[in-house]
């Protein structure tokens, strides 16, 4: 499990609008080349907030991402 990598992606989703748009339109391509486990990758692609939190994603990041957080 890579908590650091999970939170780096969450931070990018929060701060980088272009990355966030790519993620929203094609999560698989946006996550290509990231150092995530398959379980983490699947949780991101489903935008499974509870699972991402269980995998180490910081809840305040998960809930504060524009157009994604809190959904």
Domains of the chain by residue range: 3-64
- The 3-state DSSP class for residue 66 equals coil
What residue spans of 1-71 are helical by DSSP H? 3-15, 17-25, 27-30, 38-46, 49-54, 59-64
Q: How many residues does the chain have?
A: 71
What per-residue confidence (pLDDT) applies to 71?
45
**In terms of pLDDT, which residue wins out, 40 or 71?**
40
Instruction: Return d(Cα 36, Cα 26) in angstroms, integer.
Output: 17
Q: pLDDT-derived band of residue 69, with 50, 70 and 90 as boundaries?
A: low
What per-residue confidence (pLDDT) applies to 66?
85
Q: pLDDT-derived band of residue 9, with 50, 70 and 90 as boundaries?
A: very high
Q: pLDDT-derived band of residue 70, with 50, 70 and 90 as boundaries?
A: low
Tokens of 24: 């929203």
């Amino acid at each position: 499990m890579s908590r650091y990598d999970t939170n780096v992606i969450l931070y990018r989703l929060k701060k980088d609008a272009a990355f966030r748009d790519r993620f929203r339109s094609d999560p698989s391509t946006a996550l290509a080349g990231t150092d995530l486990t398959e379980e983490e990758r699947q949780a991101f692609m489903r935008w499974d907030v509870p699972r991402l939190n269980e995998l180490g994603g910081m809840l305040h990041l998960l809930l504060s991402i524009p157009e994604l957080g809190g959904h």
